[in-house]
Amino acid sequence: MFATNVLAPYILTALMRRPQRLIYLSSGLHRGTTAQLDDVLWRTRRWDGTKAYSETKLYDTMLAFAIARRWPDVFSNALEPGWVPTKMGGSEAPDDINQAHLTQAWLAVSDDALVTGQYFYHNQRLAPNPQAEDSNLQDRLIAVCESSTQLALPN
């Protein structure tokens, strides 16, 4: 899960030519967890799929904010699309799947979305998990990603 949800966006970010905007997909579940950067691969903890997913979404938000801090010329933000009825979300999910993509599109193209280091839900700023804004944790996450991939973020 860490490889797919965190290392993949990290690698793409590190390898692409620096864009004007970056958008990282998080989840509201990120607010209910804590960073476990000493065991991102769950080698010493008993596996919990929901907690593992939640942690990766916290890391995605941390990654967005770390990039915003390191690359001030790039608008880097995170968002949650909402809990929508999908195979993963289940049929009882309360949000409208037809609305889930709109914040991503807005952040990608709107002149009203020229902000960085912010978290969004339905085109509105929303407070993220406070750990996401911790620059020390962000730097530790980047170090974990660099070590795992042997790929450093360009300055």
| Residue partners of 4: CB distance under 8 A and separation at least 6 | none
Spot the catalytic one: 53, 59, 119, 121.
Answer: 53
Give exposure, 26-50, as e/b (b: 16+ Cβ within 10 Å).
bbbbbbebebbeeebebeeeeeeee
DSSP labels, 29-43: GGGG----TT-TT-S
Q: Catalytic: 53? A: yes
Spot the catalytic one: 24, 57, 59, 119.
Answer: 57
Q: Catalytic: 87? A: no
Q: How far apart are the first and last CA of the chain?
A: 27
Q: Which positions are catalytic?
A: 53, 57
